[in-house]
Amino acid sequence: MTQTLTSGPHFDLTGGHPALDFVNTVDDRLGEHPQEHLASYADLVAWGQQAGVLTDEQAGRLVREAARHPARAAAVPRRAVEVREAIYRVLLAMVGEVPPASADLDALNETLAAAMARARIAPSADGFAWGWSDEIALDRMLWPVARAVADLLTSDQLARVRVCSAHDCNWLFMDSSRNGSRRWCNMQACGNRAKARRFQQRRRVKA
């Protein structure tokens, strides 16, 4: 069981916010061959574990539940990707300072409403803390995602969300640089690629 849970895809969680890490689960979104990292229910569970929104125990229970209800489980990543793309477009609209599409906000709000119906408060060491119903719902990894997106959209961190400048990337990231001038989601991957491309273009111009 542990093997199936840990041998899945390895997710890049460098967006600086769980909402952005969720949005960044597809590579080359605008390219000819996007690479979907939430293609299966197992992928979604692996993401939830790596992002820290599912415990190993919850992940194990979900995998067993999915095995009992394969058709219902297969619908979850499809819905997750639809909602993810709506979240992406809402955040992109915010970055571009244009109003988001109401259909995208509706999709987000629908997911948020379903999630918040499962929100719970529980006693903690120094009072109470937000938590979730412990029911085995196949889409429970989406509850904290919806809440994280709502928190981000209503926080002053929203002004720090950027879109990667690499032409084929479009990942979102939180710019925590002092002057707010970071351009790439990842300097190693996208920054160097963009530099190499500029270098090649300069060579072509000279040739």
Q: Toward Zn ion, which CB reaches closer, 112 or 190?
A: 190
Quote the least distance from Cβ 175 to Zn ion, whole Å. Answer: 13
Which residues are near Zn ion by CB under 5 A?
Answer: 164, 166, 169, 171, 185, 190
Q: Toward Zn ion, which CB reaches closer, 17 or 140?
A: 17
Q: Toward Zn ion, which CB reaches closer, 142 or 164?
A: 164
Alpha-carbon span 171 to 11, nearest angstrom? 13
Q: In Å, how far are 3, 25, 94, 132, 189 from 18, measured between CA atoms?
A: 25, 11, 17, 17, 20
Q: Which token pair is 186?
A: 């990842």
User: Residue 178 phi/psi, 5° resolution?
Assistant: -60, -45
Quote the least distance from Cβ 190 to Zn ion, whole Å. Answer: 3
Quote the least distance from Cβ 114 to Zn ion, whole Å. Answer: 31
Q: Toward Zn ion, which CB reaches closer, 115 or 166?
A: 166
**Contact (CB, 8 A) for 82 and 88:** no
Quote the least distance from Cβ 32 to Zn ion, whole Å. Answer: 17
Quote the least distance from Cβ 164 to Zn ion, whole Å. Answer: 3
User: Residue 105 phi/psi, 5° resolution?
Assistant: -65, -40
Q: Toward Zn ion, which CB reaches closer, 179 or 188?
A: 188
Q: In Å, how far are 41, 96, 109, 121 from 134, measured between CA atoms?
A: 19, 38, 22, 12
